[in-house]
Structure 1
Amino acid sequence: MVEDRDQETALRQAYTAAAIRRNEELIAAEIEGEALDNTLELEFSNGPLKGPEPIGEALQVTVWSMSGAMLCRLSLSASATGGEVMQEAAKASAIRQSELKLFYKDRELAAKMPLGDLYSGSSMDLSLLHIDPEWQTFMEVVSYAGCQLAVAPARLQADKPLVLRAVRQNGCALEYAAQLLREDIEVVLAAVQDNGHSLEFAGERLRDDREVVHAAVTQNGNALRFASTRLQGNTDLVLAAVASGSQAFQFASPALRCDRKVVLAAVDLNGLSLEFASQQLKEDREAGVEEQLAEVQRVLSAVTEPKVSALCASLGLELLTFDFLPEGEPGCTFGEHEGCTARPFNVNPNWALSVREKAGRMRALILQVSNPHAWRKARNTESKVAAMRLLRQKGVPLIPEVLGWSADTGSSELGAEYLLMERVPGVGLDSILDSASEEQRQSYISQLATWLQAVGTLKCPGALQQVSGFRIQGDGATTGVEWAVNGPPLPLRDGFAAFALEALDDVVARIKEDAAAGWEVDREDMLPSLAEVRRFILHYRAKYEATPESILDACADFGVCHGDLHPGNVMCDPESGKLTGIIDWENVSWGPREPDICASWLGDRKSRIPERGMLCKLLEDLRFLHFFSVTWWGHCITLEKKLQGHADEARNCASDARKALETFLASARPLLEQDFHGEPAP
């Protein structure tokens, strides 16, 4: 009996995998205009299921249930089809024919397939598999939206193949799995590898398992909060968590937060870690700032004219001039800001270069050295370089050419991360827009609209899992890559509503945590308004993302988002009235494009889905979490108010957030009343 159950399980799993694989093949064939039969070829890890050997001259067909009972025996010609056998099997089993599948060894019988195509002997034994239609439906549903496991019957929440498919699509689906499967290491590992926060739903034993916890904190460092007390005291795991989670160090054990060596290592990985150190070590904050300033100075002093000249020579260029760009130059912001010492190393220092090519042509270039802050190491440089190269490869205009770059301080010619690119001619559009005539203004906006349409032709590669940056593969190709941002994973694969809800819930949680900790800048008065925002997101989900198909449709126009498309980053030539380039690609990402499309200065431009445009604008204006960016640490430092010395700036940011909420709700409330007549969205 145990062998029968094992055989049935193997056949069910193989059928499910084959059905999904075949569906993908059929879709591809349809696109190519090919015609394929719908026969499934099943694969088994231990080889195919064995069938009987032929035993006679006449074609005798015997149908067996998975329990080993003989259902019927038929005498048929070789030209008889699978459909004829299925009719008799349905009568004998008293099960709807649509719920049955017949297999000879490891191959399914299609309804129109002649038996002789499968076997030329005198007899054949067939296995009858009952496919639960509800199980099959949910297998398809969780392939698109894993958290739909929540509405599955309890028996299906305990079905391991189904749960595995759900958590691989969305790790947080683990919350809805049966308790037995929350304690299954294969299921839990699959979940945390997709979303580290799903560790919260794992069984107690696995939250104390080093392999599971390491996988979780590698995916999202803040998952350390759900690890066992014992593992929260493990130095290696804590530092792994800090490397990928901006708030992770607060979940380390008290002993580690008092350990100066560990704290310094954590601060080196993530500057915010100092806030969660013991009080005694926090008093060393001034020394920490001095260390970071010293690192900035080290980078600045590393960029010398001889090194830059050697770099240019390696690219076939002769360096002629080499000048540091001060504040106020387009795309250049570096150094202390008036009234704000929280960002003494705000973004990236820039130098203006004049070079001569071997052919004699003169060129103006920009050398940008990446900020040495730990949060920006490697990935920010690679992401913007990869994005700019991808756009140029696809023929998108106005993208500066990248001549050289390095994201590895150790191997860099300058001893620092850098980006060498062409200097876009002209002036920032912000410097002339106010004085331009309405005709000139509309001409610039029209040109930018055309550019946005060109960018919009680039679609995300595959199913976008979350807001992502870019990576250059070993073969030089550019692809999207998932990176944790300063907050939750924000799972776009479950639709924009899930994405926005998780961002909003993270905001609310941080406000409550700060209030409980006695933070001097009170933001709790915003909670009622944020609750209304949550209701609006539910309204959006009910209207646009109620089914897996509608989720795919609503997210179909996600793509490349510049993320900071203000007039100062749009260069133009006032004499010709033409745009000359788009600069400052720090915040570029794969994801929702509304921050670009709905930029207020572009006029009354709308998102394809108006509610999504409204939500994007609000979440960007709140600036609790800049979820469009791979790394946007500067504002997170000030707005999350983790540096006690900058409460005044924190109050200003909170005031701006309140204004953004008021503006949003003024537009959102009428929509809610119109669509739901004052009742909560489903």
Structure 2
Amino acid sequence: MGTPREALPTVTVGHIEELLETSNLPPAEKITFLNTKAEYHVIALIEFEEREDHILRIAGNHVPKLKTENELAVLAWLQKNTTIPVAQVIVYQSGTDNALGCEYLMQKRLKGQSLDLVWPTLNEGQRLKVYDFMVDVLRQLTSREWEHIGGLQFDEEDDLIPGPVLDERFWEARDIEKFFPGETVESMNPVGPYKSYVEFSVARLEKYMHAIRKSDSLAFMREHLPLLEKFIAALKEDEKKLNDTKLCLAHRDLHMGNIMYDVEEHKITGILDWEFSVVMPLQQGDLSRAFMHDLVDDGKWYERKKKMLRMIRGSAKAKGEKDISKTYAFTSEDQEEMQEAVDLLRAIVEVSPRGQREREKMEWRDELVKILEGWTE
């Protein structure tokens, strides 16, 4: 896909000052645009003379309305049903009819700094307390079982209801126009919501097959479409076994940049950026993504993650608690193969239109075909 940062809006201090005025908020003492790694927002710190500072996140036009409304609904659920600390929402708009001309979310500033900035200064004991805290976050998120796969939204009575799936890896409108002219966000992505793991997996496969039919860059995959059709039929036949999972809310981007840490009190003060949070099968949840990534791009993160998980398991064992990592395990080899096939096809469809990973995509194709043939012999 394209780089999300390329679609970030241009906003000035004057725009924010006008927003404060039209939102019945006092004038700011100081407004500072923050240099962060955020890809979907321009972020500004708003400092006031006689009230707490605010953080303003100004969204690009990547996923109009849905992303903002999903985050608001998720935050509301978290505040009502968990003790996970999140930032209080001051004012928001999921449309563009405002002084910024953009969607935005303004929240109270959480105390501290992002964990990636302070992590090198923490000793092993302090790090272990952070791990324990984050394991508790995972436990709270997995303690509630849902009946859909997708996001959350409010209905007309402000009750929470299932919403569409959101994913950072979805095809965005600007990429669709370039690589799949005439298509839409809905025609290229599995939107949902969905009732089961198999239904969601099949929907993903069908969208990727649609892309194969539409793009000449994916013509090398067309001979395998009949095999994919047979694979989908096999999944539906084995639906009961493959649906053996728990559907739980997942943050899906729990790296250290989204965790605020107070170095004075040595505690986590909040978890940020719930915009792409959705209810998912546990096997696709937080431990399979960026959980506790320190954002150091040195090629050694996998080894650090293994060490971190060993520490988490050791802490749980010493306390007589359940190993949280086992919660995210596949319940059968067939279920794991289903997910592997979906992921391989997704990767092929992602990179081919952009002319990327030419050698790897052929290796992925061979791996995929081997799985498909094993299911359809």
Q: TM-score range by the shorter chain?
A: 0.5 to 0.7
Maintained 8 Å contact 2:70/2:276: no
User: 2:139 is matched by which residue type in structure 1?
Assistant: Q
User: 1:590 is matched by which residue type in structure 2?
Assistant: V
Maintained 8 Å contact 1:402/1:421: yes
Alignment of 1:545-556 (within 5 A): 545-546=240-241, 551=243, 554-555=244-245
Partner of 1:349, secondary structure, is strand
What is the Cα deviation at residue 422 of structure 1? 2.0
Render the CA deviation track for 1:171-219: whole Å, top value 9, x for unaligned: xxxxxxxxxxxxxxxxxxxxxxxxxxxxxxxxxxxxxxxxxxxxxxxxx
Distance of aligned partners of 1:429 and 1:487 in 2 relative to their CA distance in 1, 3 Å threshold: same
Task: Work out the CA distance in 1 between the residues paired with 2:85 and 2:73.
Answer: 16
Alignment of 1:238-257 (within 5 A): none
> Among residues 304, 309, 315, which one is paired with 1:603 in the alignment?
309
User: 2:32 is matched by which residue type in structure 1?
Assistant: D
Name the residue aligned to 2:32.
Answer: 323
Alignment of 1:389-538 (within 5 A): 389-410=76-97, 412=98, 414-431=100-117, 433=119, 439-460=125-146, 463-464=147-148, 467-482=149-164, 484=186, 486-489=188-191, 492-493=194-195, 495-514=196-215, 517=216, 519=217, 524=220, 538=234
Task: Work out the CA distance in 2 between the residues paired with 1:589 and 1:408.
Answer: 21
Name the residue aligned to 2:322.
Answer: none
User: 1:492 is matched by which residue type in structure 2?
Assistant: Y
Distance of aligned partners of 1:639 and 1:432 in 2 relative to their CA distance in 1, 3 Å threshold: farther
Task: Work out the CA distance in 1 between the residues paired with 2:18 and 2:136.
Answer: 40
Task: Work out the CA distance in 2 between the residues paired with 1:545 and 1:479.
Answer: 25
Task: Work out the CA distance in 2 between the residues paired with 1:364 and 1:571.
Answer: 15
Maintained 8 Å contact 1:490/1:500: no
User: 1:309 is matched by which residue type in structure 2?
Assistant: L
Distance of aligned partners of 1:655 and 1:507 in 2 relative to their CA distance in 1, 3 Å threshold: farther
Task: Work out the CA distance in 2 between the residues paired with 1:603 and 1:595.
Answer: 15
What is the Cα deviation at residue 590 of structure 1? 2.7
Render the CA deviation track for 1:631-669: whole Å, top value 9, x for unaligned: xxxxx9x7463xxxxx4xx414x666667789x88xx97
User: 1:477 is matched by which residue type in structure 2?
Assistant: D
User: 2:129 is matched by which residue type in structure 1?
Assistant: S
> Among residues 299, 306, 315, which one is paired with 2:17 in the alignment?
306
Maintained 8 Å contact 1:622/1:657: no
Show structure 2 runs of 5+ residues with no match.
166-185, 291-304, 311-324
Name the residue aligned to 2:67.
Answer: 380
Alignment of 1:202-281 (within 5 A): none
What is the Cα deviation at residue 423 of structure 1? 2.4
Whether 1:651 aligns to 2:356 is yes
Distance of aligned partners of 1:472 and 1:577 in 2 relative to their CA distance in 1, 3 Å threshold: same
Name the residue aligned to 2:267.
Answer: 578
What is the Cα deviation at residue 324 of structure 1? 1.3
Whether 1:348 aligns to 2:41 is yes
User: 1:487 is matched by which residue type in structure 2?
Assistant: N
Distance of aligned partners of 1:565 and 1:485 in 2 relative to their CA distance in 1, 3 Å threshold: farther
Maintained 8 Å contact 2:115/2:260: yes
Whether 1:564 aligns to 2:270 is no
User: 1:306 is matched by which residue type in structure 2?
Assistant: E
User: 2:47 is matched by which residue type in structure 1?
Assistant: S
Render the CA deviation track for 1:541-592: whole Å, top value 9, x for unaligned: 73x725xxx84xx35x213222222333223335544322221223122332
What is the Cα deviation at residue 393 of structure 1? 2.0
Task: Work out the CA distance in 2 between the residues paired with 1:613 and 1:303.
Answer: 52
What is the Cα deviation at residue 419 of structure 1? 0.7
Larger Rg belongs to: 1
Task: Work out the CA distance in 2 between the residues paired with 1:323 and 1:574.
Answer: 22
Maintained 8 Å contact 1:491/1:498: no
User: 1:353 is matched by which residue type in structure 2?
Assistant: I
Maintained 8 Å contact 2:16/2:99: no
Alignment of 1:57-72 (within 5 A): none
Percent identical pairs in the alignment equals 17
Alignment of 1:99-110 (within 5 A): none
| Larger RCO, structures 1/2 (Cα 8 Å, 6+ apart) | 2
Name the residue aligned to 1:253.
Answer: none
Maintained 8 Å contact 1:320/1:355: yes
Distance of aligned partners of 1:449 and 1:308 in 2 relative to their CA distance in 1, 3 Å threshold: same
User: 1:385 is matched by which residue type in structure 2?
Assistant: L
Partner of 1:545, secondary structure, is helix
Render the CA deviation track for 1:456-501: whole Å, top value 9, x for unaligned: 23443xx42xx433223333333322465842456732x3123213
What is the Cα deviation at residue 307 of structure 1? 1.0
User: 2:21 is matched by which residue type in structure 1?
Assistant: A
TM value normalised by structure 1: 0.39
What is the Cα deviation at residue 353 of structure 1? 0.9
Task: Work out the CA distance in 2 between the residues paired with 1:659 and 1:567.
Answer: 32
Render the CA deviation track for 1:21-71: whole Å, top value 9, x for unaligned: xxxxxxxxxxxxxxxxxxxxxxxxxxxxxxxxxxxxxxxxxxxxxxxxxxx
Show structure 1 runs of 5+ residues with no match.
1-270, 272-291, 334-346, 626-635, 642-646, 673-677
What is the Cα deviation at residue 450 of structure 1? 0.6
User: 1:609 is matched by which residue type in structure 2?
Assistant: F
Name the residue aligned to 1:364.
Answer: 53
What is the Cα deviation at residue 382 of structure 1? 1.3
Maintained 8 Å contact 1:322/1:353: yes
What is the Cα deviation at residue 397 of structure 1? 1.4
Maintained 8 Å contact 2:208/2:346: no
User: 1:603 is matched by which residue type in structure 2?
Assistant: L
Maintained 8 Å contact 1:428/1:571: yes
Task: Work out the CA distance in 1 between the residues paired with 2:228 and 2:84.
Answer: 41
Maintained 8 Å contact 1:405/1:420: yes
Task: Work out the CA distance in 1 between the residues paired with 2:190 and 2:110.
Answer: 36
Task: Work out the CA distance in 1 between the residues paired with 2:20 and 2:58.
Answer: 15
TM value normalised by structure 2: 0.66
